[in-house]
DNA sequence: GTTCATGCAAATCGTTTGCACAATG
DNA sequence: CATTGTGCAAACGATTTGCATGAAC
């Protein structure tokens, strides 16, 4: 599919490249609205879908009712805080052997995998400790 | 929270225990409707939420627009076919060390993780091969 | 008999889409 | 000028919820 340039779409990609918080559509919309006051939320959805199709952006799905997005980089795993919902990139190296293991055990053709870790992020961990000491 | 007995809820759990396909709400609804012709879809949602709260059922989220459910058993990983959407339990052993690794690299308190593998299931793999040979 | 579960329909939420107009090439 | 992108609002699909009635205790 061939697309024309769009200032809005360019800016969305730029915003995503400069963020590591895996933002939601609403967050992106609010941020972009400063540059395009008439911006509609539908257009943010439309452009995010195009960017995903172009493989410049990845749609992420961590079990919430809404999606999150980030600019595509090297494959990595994620941590999700069960308290505040924050999504944090992990510095663990991507385990290529896992795909082969899954392939051997299932007979399916496996070409990728995702890992999500769950628990409490640093902030929430500390808040909880303070709470318990009171 | 204390709940009364409900024939509908019991049957939902029974259905889930006898299935390994991680069914959707609609699938469960259709199946349950044979026993309870007046059944409403809202009640299936309500009871699934209760079962999840009681930790008898797990809500699964594989990136589709709808949720899937299964009766809780030993932790295991999943394969998702990108062609037909099938979700298949894998026989890989749960890697306890992974949580510790994630904890070390992030500073977060990690207590669980999920792994999803992506690719083509056996059926879809074969279909594709037949297609290419024609 | 009081309280919770149910069916039904309306409401909600995130997302998509149809349309008239504006921007791109 | 032909075509795609946009804002707007309506439509959509999955899920939740308010309410009157029925089942559980």
Which residues numbered 6-45 in chain B sit less than 7 A from strand D, measured from CB? 6-7, 24-25, 41-42, 45
Per-residue model confidence as pLDDT tens digits over A57-103: 999 988 889 999 999 989 999 999 998 889 999 999 999 999 999 99
Q: According to the model, what pLDDT value does residue B127 have?
A: 87
Task: Give the per-residue pLDDT at B57.
Answer: 97
Q: In this complex, do B115 and A113 lie within 8 Å of one another by their Cβ atoms?
A: yes
Hey, is the C-beta of B101 within 8 angstroms of any chain A C-beta?
Answer: yes
- Contact at 8 Å (CB) between A32 and A47? no
Interface touch A98/B88, C-beta < 8 Å: no
Provide φ and ψ at B67, rounded to 5°.
Answer: -85, 165
Beta-carbon count within 10 A of B49 CB:
12
DSSP letter for each residue of chain B: ------HHHHHHHHHHHT--S--BHHHHHHHHHTT-TT--HHHHHHHHHHHHHTTSEEEE--SSSS-EEEE--S---EEEETTT--EEE--PPP-THHHHHHHHHH-SEEEEEEEEEEEE-HHHHHHHHHHHH-
Tell whether the model's pLDDT for residue A40 goes beyond 80. yes
pLDDT in tens, A119-129: 999 999 998 88
For chains A and B, CB pairs below 8 A equal 102
> A9 CA, D22 C1': separation in Å?
55
**Which of A73, A88, A75, A98 is CA-nearest to residue A120?**
A88
The series of mean pLDDT values per 10 residues for chain B, 134 residues long, is 92 97 97 97 98 96 92 93 92 94 94 95 89 69
Which pLDDT score is estimated for A134? 59
Rounded Cα gap, residues B3 and B123, in angstroms: 42
Whole-model pTM: value is 0.91
pLDDT at position B1 is 65
Chain B residues in contact with A115 by the CB 8 A cut-off are 98, 113-115
Q: Which residue is nearest to nucleotide C3 (CA to C1')?
A: B4
pLDDT digits (tens, 9 = 90+) for A29-39: 999 999 999 99
- Write down the pLDDT at residue A2: 83
């Amino acid at each position: 599919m061939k697309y024309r340039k769009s200032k809005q779409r360019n800016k969305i990609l730029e915003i995503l490249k400069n963020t590591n918080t895996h933002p939601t559509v609403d967050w992106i919309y609010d941020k972009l609205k400063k540059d395009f006051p008439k911006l509609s939320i539908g257009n943010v959805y439309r452009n995010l879908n195009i960017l995903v199709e172009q493989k410049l952006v990845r749609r992420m799905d961590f079990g919430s009712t809404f999606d999150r997005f980030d600019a595509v980089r090297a494959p990595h795993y994620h941590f999700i805080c069960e308290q505040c919902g924050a999504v944090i990139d992990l510095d663990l190296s991507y385990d290529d052997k896992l795909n082969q293991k899954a392939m051997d055990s299932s007979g399916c053709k496996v070409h990728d995998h995702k890992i999500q870790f769950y628990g409490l992020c640093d902030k929430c961990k500390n808040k909880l400790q303070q709470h318990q000491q009171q």
